[in-house]
Amino acid sequence: MARLVETLVFGGFLGSLFVFSTGCETAPPVPPVPSLESDRLIPSDTAMQTAKVLVAARPYESKIPDTYNTQKNWPLVILLHGYGANGIAQDVYFGLGKEVDRLGFLYAYPDGLVDSKGKHFWNATDVCCDFDNKGVDDVAYIDAIIDDMASRYQVDKKRVYLVGHSNGGFMSHRFACDRSERVAAIVPLAGDNYKDTSRCTPKQPVAVLQVHGDKDDLVPYEGGTEAGTGRSLPSAIDCVKFWAGIGGCTLTPDTTVPNVDVDRYLPGAESTVTRFPNCKPGGGAELWTIKGGVHMPSLGQPTWADQVWSWFAAHPKP
């Protein structure tokens, strides 16, 4: 934990880091997913050779449940940090690592490369955040993490998931665009898809839960100009509509879904849910709007981990 600092930069936002507990001790109710030998992810020799090189150059952190065994395949969750943060810091903010044993998934939390400002970044979309134009292939790097984890543990190829904040949220969209056949679902918090969606060409549906504060002044909820860069951003709802179309969902959203409580400092269940229903297998598209939420909301722990995991567990590949 030596790399962890008391104050962190997430997507350009400087704020104090606090860890909270709600006293929750049990996992959220989710349907069981059969785990068949045919669903085990087995990387090819070529993939493993590539993974060894990339992972040796860029090691990553991981956690494995105490109950791990080889009698079944296991879901894999990859956490992608915000711009200027790192994997360990992002894990403390999101609180996923503390819940690995309780919720039961394999977990990896890597670091992006460091730019000329000394900030970790992901080369994600046309907006964010390879500001030095390094051109690093972070899609290949995430591929390598998946393959490396699958070489050491029994990964369920139908249950590979990405969750990210800010730049990491952008990167989760990017990976879903480029590797839709590898990822079942993503949860980006305050991170958008491409503005130019012609650059996003998924081969399969991916279930997407976009979570975004409507008072986010760094990655604006309504889209427009990104703070500090002047680049044009899509709106949160446009990001979700795109994936609803890919997933064959009804494009008239259902807004009667009950609210959820994401930000522990905002009163009540402050986040509205916009769901695009009737998706085809593998699809899923929801927008959780944190009313009054900022770029770095005060996430409840372990509530946030439960919310993320519930979405993932409900959306395996068909």
Token pair listed for 252: 């008239």
| 147, 76 Cβ separation under 8 angstroms | no
| Residue 230, pLDDT score | 73
Distances (CA, A) of 40 to 65, 85, 91: 18, 32, 26
Q: Give the phi and the psi of residue 121 in degrees, each rounded to 5.
A: -145, 165
Environment class of residue 133 by beta-carbon count within 10 Å: exposed (0-12), middle (13-18) or buried (19+)?
exposed
In a domain, 119, yes or no: yes
Distances (CA, A) of 129 to 30, 122, 124, 287: 35, 6, 6, 23
CA triplet 174, 104, 86: central angle to 5 degrees? Answer: 45
Q: Write the pLDDT tens digit of every residue in 203-262.
A: 999 999 999 999 999 999 999 876 667 778 999 999 999 999 999 999 999 999 999 999
In a domain, 15, yes or no: no
Nearest residue to 309 (alpha-carbon basis) of 146, 101, 152: 101
Task: Provide the number of structural domains found in the chain.
Answer: 1
| 282, 207 Cβ separation under 8 angstroms | yes
Looking at the predicted structure, is the pLDDT value of residue 21 above 90? Answer: no
Q: Write the pLDDT tens digit of every residue in 104-115.
A: 999 999 999 999
Q: Where are the beta strands (DSSP E) in 239-300?
A: 271-276, 285-290
In a domain, 26, yes or no: no
Indicate the angle between helix axes 303-313 and 87-94, nearest 10 degrees: 100
In a domain, 21, yes or no: no
In a domain, 297, yes or no: yes
pLDDT cut 90: percent of the chain above it: 85
Task: Supply the range of the domain harboring residue 51.
Answer: 34-313
| Residue 38, pLDDT score | 86
**Would you call the peptide bond into 129 cis, given omega within 30 degrees of 0 as the criterion?**
yes
Q: Where are the beta strands (DSSP E) in the chain?
A: 7-10, 13-16, 61-63, 74-80, 106-109, 113-114, 120-121, 155-165, 185-189, 207-213, 224-225, 232-233, 271-276, 285-290
In a domain, 69, yes or no: yes
Q: Write the pLDDT tens digit of every residue in 266-313.
A: 999 999 999 999 999 999 999 999 999 999 999 999 999 999 999 999
Strand partners for 107: 63, 77
Looking at the predicted structure, is the pLDDT value of residue 43 above 70? Answer: yes
Please tell me which residue, 27 or 185, carries the higher pLDDT value: 185
Q: Give the phi and the psi of residue 74 in degrees, each rounded to 5.
A: -120, 145
In a domain, 13, yes or no: no
Containing H/E element for 102? Answer: helix 100-103
In a domain, 18, yes or no: no
CATH code, 271:
3.40.50.1820
Token pair listed for 220: 């604006």
**Would you call the peptide bond into 29 cis, given omega within 30 degrees of 0 as the criterion?**
no
Q: Write the pLDDT tens digit of every residue in 126-168.
A: 989 999 999 999 999 999 999 999 999 999 999 999 999 999 9
Indicate the angle between helix axes 138-152 and 167-178, nearest 10 degrees: 80
